A and B are shown apart, each in its own frame.
Chain A
Amino acid sequence: MSEIDPAAVEADEFSKLAPLQAAVLSKLNEAADLAALETCRVEVLGKASELAGLLKDVGRLPPAERPIRAALRNALKETISSALETRRGGLEEAALTVRLSAERMDISAPVRPEPAGLIHPISRTMEEIAAIFGAMGFSVKEGPDVEDDWFAFGALNIPGHHPARAMMDTFYLNAKIGERRALLRPHTSSVQIRTMLEWAKAEATGATPEPIRIIVPGRTFRSDHDATHSPMFHQVEGLVIGRDITLAHLKGCLIDFLRAFFNVPDLPVRFRASYFPFTEPSLEVDIGRDRKSGEIGAGSDWLEILGSGMVHPNVLANCGIDPREYQGFAFGVGIDRITILKHGMADMRPLFENDVRWLRHYGFSPLAPANLHEGI
C-alpha cells in the first residue's frame, strides 16, 4: 500500500471537475424558460449526465482516494442543484410577472347590476315612532281596518247625528258586522277601545293589569282627496291610562316625542284648547316652523301637528273603566303628514303614487333600521 498525497488527489479531482462545473452553470443560465430549464436539468443531473457517471464511478475508485474525490463530486452536485433552483425561481417569477400583466382587468368597469331596494318613507316614520315611544315604555298595538260603527264612533262618545258619521266623511261597506254597519275605520281609535275593553275585563276579575301605555299605528280611511288629504292615510294614536296620569304628562310625553322625531332638541311646542268628542280637555298641538323655508323649529310661525286630550270619562265608562279610579290621555298624529314635513316634501300624493324615481330619491336603506341608539 503506497501512501498517497491527499492534496494532490484533491487538486487532480478539482482540475477534472472545474470545467464541468463551468459548462453546466453556463448552460443553466442559458435556459430561457422553465421548459428549457427542465431539459437542461435532465442533461446535467439526469442518469445519463456526466455528473451521474462520475458519481456512479465513485465505487470503483481506489479506497484511499475515494473519500476525497466523492466529497468533491457531491459538492458539485449540490452546487449545480442549488444553481438550478435559483435559476428556476428567477424564471418562475418572470413567468408570473408576464402572466399577471396579461390578466389585468378594467377595474373602472361597472359592476354586475344589483338593484338596490329601499324602505318607503311611511314605513320609516312608523319605525321611528315605534322606537321613540318604545323608549317611553309604549307597546305597539294593531287592529282591523274594517270596523263597526260602535268601535269607530259610539264607544268614542261621537253621537249618532255627528257629521263624522255621515257618508260624506266615512267610507261604509255594503256589509254588516252583526247588526251594525261595517265601515273603514276613520282613525285607529278603535284599537284603543279594544285595548281598554280587554284591560277592564282583566281588572274586573281582580287582577291588577299594568297601566295602559300603547301606540296604535295603521291605515285609516276618509272620503277626502287633495294635496293634503288622501282617501287612505296612516295614523298613529297613543293612549296612556293610569291612576295618576295628568295633563302635565300629556304635555311632557308629546314634547318629548316631537323633539325626538324632528331631531330638534329645543323645538318650540304650543298647546291650544280645542274640542274632540272623545277627549276632555282637548288640546291641539303646534310646533314652530318657518313658513317660508319650511324649516322645523325655526322662524316664528306655528304649524298644527296633532290633536290630543285627556280621555273623556264617557269613553272610559263605555269600555268599563271607572273614571273615578283611572284617567289618562290620548293623541293622534298623521303619519303621512309628519313624514312629508320631516323630509320637506310638498305634497301627500306622491307617497301613494309609488313612482320608482321618487322612491329611489326618498327611500331608506333596509340595513339601517330606525333605532334610538344609532340616532333617528
Chain B
Amino acid sequence: MKFSLSWLKTWLDTDVSAAEIIEKLSTIGLEVEGVHNAAEALAPFVIAEVLEAAPHPNADRLRACRVSIGGAEISVVCGAPNARTGMKAVFAPPGAFIPGSGITLKVGEIRGVKSEGMLVSTRELALGDEHDGIIELPADAPVGTAYAVWAGLDDPVIEISVTPNRGDALSVRGVARDLAAAGLGTLRAFNPKPVAGAGASRISWRNDFAEACPWVLGRTVSNVTNGESPDWLKARLTSIGLRPINTLADITNFFTHDLGRPLHVFDADKIAGSTLTLRHGVPGETFAGLHGKQVVVSSDDCVIADENGAQSLAGIVGGVATGCDFSTRTVFIECALFDRVHIALTGQRHAIHSDARQRFERGIDPALLPNGLHAATAMILDLCGGTASEITQAGSEPHWRRKAKIRFARLKTFGGADIRPDEAVGSLEKLGFTVYRRDGAHAVLDVPSWRNDIAQTPALEQSPDLDPVTAKTTAEGAAEIEPEVDLIEEVLRLRGLDAIIPVSLPLSRSIPAPNLTPKQTRTALARRSLAARGLMECVTFSFLDHNIAGLFAQADEALRLANPIAADLDQMRPTAIATLAAVAARNIARGYPDLGLFEVGPAYPEPGSQILAAAGLRSGETGLSALAASRKFDALDAKADALAVLAALGVATDAITATAEAPKFFHPGQSGLLRQGPKIILAQFGALHPSICSKLDLPIGTVAFEIFLDAIPEPKRRKKSAPALPAFQPLRRDFAFLVPAATPAETLIRAAKGADRNLITNVTLFDRYAGKNLPEGQISLAIAVTLQPTEKSLTETEIEAVSAKIVAAVGKATGGVLRN
C-alpha cells in the first residue's frame, strides 16, 4: 500500500514531520517498507532567471545566456530553442547529477564560451518525456528557490506493508485514522452529500450468487464525457505508481486507494441487455480481462454477466468488452460487497493480483457502500458531467454490528501495561469505537463497521480428541476472551509497545532441571563423538531426487512431494547416507577426495515412520604422512565409527554382534548390521555397493554407516557395583588357529572368551593370515588371551588346563584346530 504525504494530509490534519509519521507507522503495525521522495534527487535544481539570451558567437544553434539565481551572474551555454531573455527556468549547478541523462555536471567551455551550469528540460529531470526545450516557469516563480519544493514535488511517497487482518488500512483514510488515534493529528470527517438520482438505472442487478456477494449497488450516469483526468488526479495516481487511463477508470482507482472502496465502471452501451447478473461461472466461459489476459472461469467463481455471458470476474478483474474508454457516454458504476473467502479462493485459482482483490479479500467496510457510491458519483459528475440515475441494488446491508467488552484490569494482567481506563477508551474512540456502556471496571464498545478483524475471528477447529465438556467450555472461553484481546491489542499498539516494562520470566526454582531428555542428550553425545573422531558434521536436506532415493530403498510414492520446488528435491530420504553421498561427491569434485562426513538427523524409511539416525561416510585415505603409510578407509573404519558412538552412548559393545545382512546398497561381502540380542538393530555399516558408487560419482570403496539412535535402549540408571581389582598379575597366552576361510572372527573370539568366564578377561585378534603354507580353504586367526587370576597365581598345570579348554571351545565353535 502506497500513498504520498500530501494525499495522507487530505485526511489527516497534522503538523508533525514526515519522519515522525514514518516512525509511528512502523510501531503501530503498519510497517514502512520504503520511502521515496522525488525532491531528494532534485535538491540541487533551483529556479533561475535568464537575464540575457544572446546568440553564441561561434555556433548558430546555441545561445550564450547570462543567468541569475539570486547572487552573481552565471554564464550558461544553452541549446534549447525556447531560451530567451527574461524567462524563468530551472538551473542545474556544476556537481548536480542529472537524473534524466545520468551525468554529473561539470564546468565547461563550449566553443569558446564558458558554461557554468545548465538549464534543464523536463526529461532531464526525469519528470516527463518533454525535451523540445527547457522548462519554462511562470513569471512569478521565485528566483533562487529550490525547484522541487516550489513545484510541490517535495512529497514523500510512503509504502507500507499491511497485515492480512487490516483491510481498513488499505486506504489512505484508514492510515490517517490510525495515525490520528496514535496521537499524530486529527482525522478529517467524511460526509459525502448524497447525489440524488433522476429516473431508474438503465442497468439493474440480478443476484444469483448471494453467498459470494451479499450486497451490491449500482447506478447509471448518462451523457458523460470521458477523457484524460485532470492533473491533480493523474498526479495522485502516478505518485503511487498507477498509470492514469481515463477519467472514469482513474476515479475507480482513486477511491480504491483513498477510501479502500474498490469500484468498477461498465460502459453501459456495451452491455447486452439491461441486467447484470451475479452468478456462478459456466465452465468453459471466457472473457478478455482488463489485466491483458484471457480469463477462463470455473463454476466456483462468481462472475458478472450480461446476455452475452461473463463480463467480469467479480471483485477481481473487469472485462475489456464492457470497459470504459474515451468514447464512453453512459457509465454503470458497480459498488459491491464481496465475500472475503470467495474472493481469496477465486484470486488464488486465477493467480490474479489486483488492488480490488487485495481489499475485498481482507475485508472492506460493509457500511461504506452507499457513501462510496455517492462520492464516486459526485466526482464523475464533477469531472465528466452527465446525469445520474437512481441507485439500483440487490441484496441488503449485512449484519455487521458487534460489541466488544474490555475489563480495564486486563490491560495489566494480560497486556502487562499500566494504562488508565480513560486513556484506553480514548484511543478506541479515536479509532471509531463508540462506548455503549462503561463503569469503573469495564467498558462495552460498538465496533466500527470497517474493523472486520475485531470480535470476529475464524471458527474454532477444535481437536476431535477433546471431550465434549472441555470442548464446550473452552469454546465459550475463546468467544468471551477474544474480543477483549482485540481491544487490548488496539490500545497497546496505538500507545506503543515500548510502554510495556519487560519482566524476566520468574523461575520456579533457582537451579533449573535438565532441559534435555535422556534421548536428546544422547543425540548431542553422538554428534560430539563423531566430530571428535574426525568426522565433519553436515546438515543436508530431508529430500532428494526420487531416482537417487530409489538406489537406497524403495522410493515410496507416499513419501513423494506433490509440489517439489525442484525435480531433484522430490522424495523424502530413506537414509541420510543418500544425501551425504551427494555432499561427498561434490567435495571430491572440488578436489578434496579424503573425507569423513556425518549428519545427525531424521530419515524417512517408510510412510508414517520418521527415525533419528546418525549417518556417516568416509571416502579416500587416512592421509599422507612420513610416519605412517596412508591407507584406504574400509568397512571396518565405518564399523569402528558406529561402535565408538554406541560405546559413548552406554551400549555394552561386548554384547554387540555383527551380522552380514546389511541392505543392498552396501557391498554384499563388506557390510553388516550391528545387533544387540535377536531383535534390536543398532546400526548398519559397510562399503557402499560399487554400482551405487559409480552412479553417485563416488570412488569405489567409499564406506558408510548409520546408527539408529531411536533403537538404542535407554541405559539403566543402576548404581555400579564395586569393581574386582585382583592383586595378581594377568598373563597373556597366544594361540593361532587354522579355521575354514569363512569363519567370522567374532565367533572364534566369542568361543575363546566363553571357555572360562572367570579367568579370561580379554581376547584380541592380532593376526589374520591367508595364503601360502595353509591347507586349501583355511585361514589362520591368531588371538591373544588375557588370563586374570583372582585368588592366587596360576600354576603351569592350571594354565595348561585353561589353554586346553580354549582350544576345545574354538574347535567346537569353528571346527578350527591349533596351528603348529
Residues of chain A at the chain B interface (Cβ within 8 Å) = 109-120, 122-123, 127, 130, 133-140, 142, 144-146, 150, 154-155, 157-159, 161, 163, 166-167, 171-175, 177, 182, 184, 197, 200-201, 204, 210, 213, 219, 221, 223-225, 231-232, 240, 244, 246-253, 255-256, 270-275, 277, 280-284, 310, 312-314, 316-325, 327, 351-357, 359-360, 363, 365-367, 369
Which of A273, A282, A312, A321 has a CB less than 8 Å from the CB of B474? Answer: A321
Q: Are A219 and B542 in contact (CB under 8 A)?
A: yes
A-side contacts of B542, CB under 8 Å: 145, 184, 219, 221, 232
A274-B502 in contact given A219-B601, A316-B478 (Cβ < 8 Å): no
Q: Are A119 and B540 in contact (CB under 8 A)?
A: no
Q: Are B559 and A175 in contact (CB under 8 A)?
A: yes
The smallest C-beta distance from A276 to any residue of chain B, in angstroms, reads: 8
B501 contacts chain A at the CB level, 8 A cutoff: yes
Contact with A along B553-587 (1 / 0, CB 8 A): 00001111111111001001000000000010011
Report the Cα distance A273→B163, complex, angstroms. 10
Within 8 A of A (CB), among B506-562: 507-509, 512-517, 520, 524, 527-543, 557-562
Q: Are B595 and A356 in contact (CB under 8 A)?
A: yes
B-side contacts of A175, CB under 8 Å: 557-559, 607
B128 contacts chain A at the CB level, 8 A cutoff: no
B29 contacts chain A at the CB level, 8 A cutoff: yes
A-side contacts of B470, CB under 8 Å: 200, 204, 320
A-side contacts of B501, CB under 8 Å: 248
Which of A116, A140, A274 has a CB less than 8 Å from the CB of B534? Answer: A116
B493 contacts chain A at the CB level, 8 A cutoff: yes
Q: Are B560 and A118 in contact (CB under 8 A)?
A: no
Q: Are B534 and A251 in contact (CB under 8 A)?
A: no
B-side contacts of A323, CB under 8 Å: 474, 477-478, 480-482
The smallest C-beta distance from B212 to any residue of chain A, in angstroms, reads: 13
B-side contacts of A357, CB under 8 Å: 590, 592
5 A-B contacts, Cβ less than 8 Å apart? A133-B515, A253-B505, A275-B166, A366-B528, A366-B529
Closest to B466 in A: A320
Closest to B31 in A: A272
Which of B475, B489, B601 has a CB less than 8 Å from the CB of A273? Answer: B489
Which of A232, A240, A253 has a CB less than 8 Å from the CB of B541? Answer: A232
B238 contacts chain A at the CB level, 8 A cutoff: no
B164 contacts chain A at the CB level, 8 A cutoff: yes
B463 contacts chain A at the CB level, 8 A cutoff: yes
A273-B28 in contact given A140-B516, A252-B505 (Cβ < 8 Å): yes
Which of B29, B413, B474, B623 has a CB less than 8 Å from the CB of A275? Answer: B29
**Interface-located stretch among B84-92, B305-313, B454-462, B794-802:** B454-462
A277-B458 in contact given A137-B508, A145-B610, A172-B562 (Cβ < 8 Å): yes
A-side contacts of B538, CB under 8 Å: 120, 354, 359
A-side contacts of B198, CB under 8 Å: none
Q: Are B532 and A352 in contact (CB under 8 A)?
A: no
B345 contacts chain A at the CB level, 8 A cutoff: yes
Q: Which of A213, A221, A323 has the most CB of B within 10 A?
A: A323
Beyond A273-B492, A354-B540, list 12 extra A-B contacts (CB 8 Å): A109-B626, A113-B623, A117-B534, A120-B538, A122-B539, A249-B505, A253-B505, A255-B502, A272-B31, A282-B163, A319-B463, A351-B539
B647 contacts chain A at the CB level, 8 A cutoff: no
Report the Cα distance A281→B627, complex, angstroms. 66
B52 contacts chain A at the CB level, 8 A cutoff: no
A-side contacts of B412, CB under 8 Å: 246
Q: Which of A137, A167, A255, A320 has the most CB of B within 10 A?
A: A320
B348 contacts chain A at the CB level, 8 A cutoff: yes
Closest to B600 in A: A123
Q: Are B559 and A144 in contact (CB under 8 A)?
A: no
Q: Are B29 and A320 in contact (CB under 8 A)?
A: no
Closest to B504 in A: A252
**Interface-located stretch among B247-255, B414-422, B661-669, B673-681:** B414-422
A324-B590 in contact given A119-B527, A252-B502 (Cβ < 8 Å): no
Q: Are A115 and B623 in contact (CB under 8 A)?
A: yes
Report the Cα distance A296→B480, complex, angstroms. 42
Within 8 A of A (CB), among B388-416: 412-416
B299 contacts chain A at the CB level, 8 A cutoff: no
- The 6 A-B pairs with the shortest beta carbon distances in the complex, nearest first, are A248-B416, A273-B29, A275-B163, A113-B623, A273-B493, A366-B531
The smallest C-beta distance from B54 to any residue of chain A, in angstroms, reads: 50
A-side contacts of B31, CB under 8 Å: 272, 274, 284
A-side contacts of B416, CB under 8 Å: 246-251
B181 contacts chain A at the CB level, 8 A cutoff: no
Closest to A286 in B: B26
Report the Cα distance A356→B580, complex, angstroms. 12
B-side contacts of A324, CB under 8 Å: 477, 480-481
Q: Are A325 and B477 in contact (CB under 8 A)?
A: yes
Q: Are A231 and B341 in contact (CB under 8 A)?
A: no
Report the Cα distance A114→B587, complex, angstroms. 19
Which of A144, A219, A318 has a CB less than 8 Å from the CB of B460? Answer: A318
Closest to A368 in B: B528
B-side contacts of A318, CB under 8 Å: 460-463
Q: Are A112 and B625 in contact (CB under 8 A)?
A: yes
B-side contacts of A166, CB under 8 Å: 348
B497 contacts chain A at the CB level, 8 A cutoff: yes
A225-B536 in contact given A137-B508, A322-B473 (Cβ < 8 Å): no
Q: Are A359 and B537 in contact (CB under 8 A)?
A: yes
Q: Are B478 and A281 in contact (CB under 8 A)?
A: no
Closest to B511 in A: A135
Within 8 A of A (CB), among B431-470: 457-458, 460-463, 465-467, 470
A-side contacts of B465, CB under 8 Å: 197, 201
Report the Cα distance A272→B530, complex, angstroms. 43
Q: Are B463 and A246 in contact (CB under 8 A)?
A: no
A134-B503 in contact given A154-B461, A172-B562, A322-B473 (Cβ < 8 Å): no
Contact with A along B321-338 (1 / 0, CB 8 A): 000000000000000000
B672 contacts chain A at the CB level, 8 A cutoff: no
Report the Cα distance A271→B602, complex, angstroms. 35
Q: Are A274 and B29 in contact (CB under 8 A)?
A: yes
Q: Are A240 and B505 in contact (CB under 8 A)?
A: yes
Q: Are B536 and A246 in contact (CB under 8 A)?
A: no
Q: Which of B28, B482, B501 has the most CB of A within 10 A?
A: B482
Report the Cα distance A224→B480, complex, angstroms. 39
Which of B504, B524, B535 has a CB less than 8 Å from the CB of A117? Answer: B535
B-side contacts of A118, CB under 8 Å: 531, 536-537
Closest to A234 in B: B539
Closest to B28 in A: A273
A354-B29 in contact given A155-B463, A173-B559, A174-B557 (Cβ < 8 Å): no
Q: Are A140 and B492 in contact (CB under 8 A)?
A: no
Closest to B560 in A: A174
Report the Cα distance A16→B779, complex, angstroms. 75
The smallest C-beta distance from A10 to any residue of chain B, in angstroms, reads: 55
Q: Are B604 and A146 in contact (CB under 8 A)?
A: yes
The smallest C-beta distance from B300 to any residue of chain A, in angstroms, reads: 12
Closest to A155 in B: B461
Closest to A124 in B: B537
B50 contacts chain A at the CB level, 8 A cutoff: no
Closest to A150 in B: B461
Q: Are B528 and A356 in contact (CB under 8 A)?
A: no
Q: Are A219 and B602 in contact (CB under 8 A)?
A: yes
The smallest C-beta distance from A317 to any residue of chain B, in angstroms, reads: 4
Q: Are B563 and A167 in contact (CB under 8 A)?
A: yes
B-side contacts of A274, CB under 8 Å: 29, 31, 163
Which of B473, B520, B594 has a CB less than 8 Å from the CB of A142? Answer: B520
Q: Are B345 and A271 in contact (CB under 8 A)?
A: no
The smallest C-beta distance from A138 to any residue of chain B, in angstroms, reads: 6
B488 contacts chain A at the CB level, 8 A cutoff: yes
B747 contacts chain A at the CB level, 8 A cutoff: no
Which of B164, B540, B598, B625 has a CB less than 8 Å from the CB of A110? Answer: B625
Report the Cα distance A355→B630, complex, angstroms. 23
Q: Are B29 and A366 in contact (CB under 8 A)?
A: no
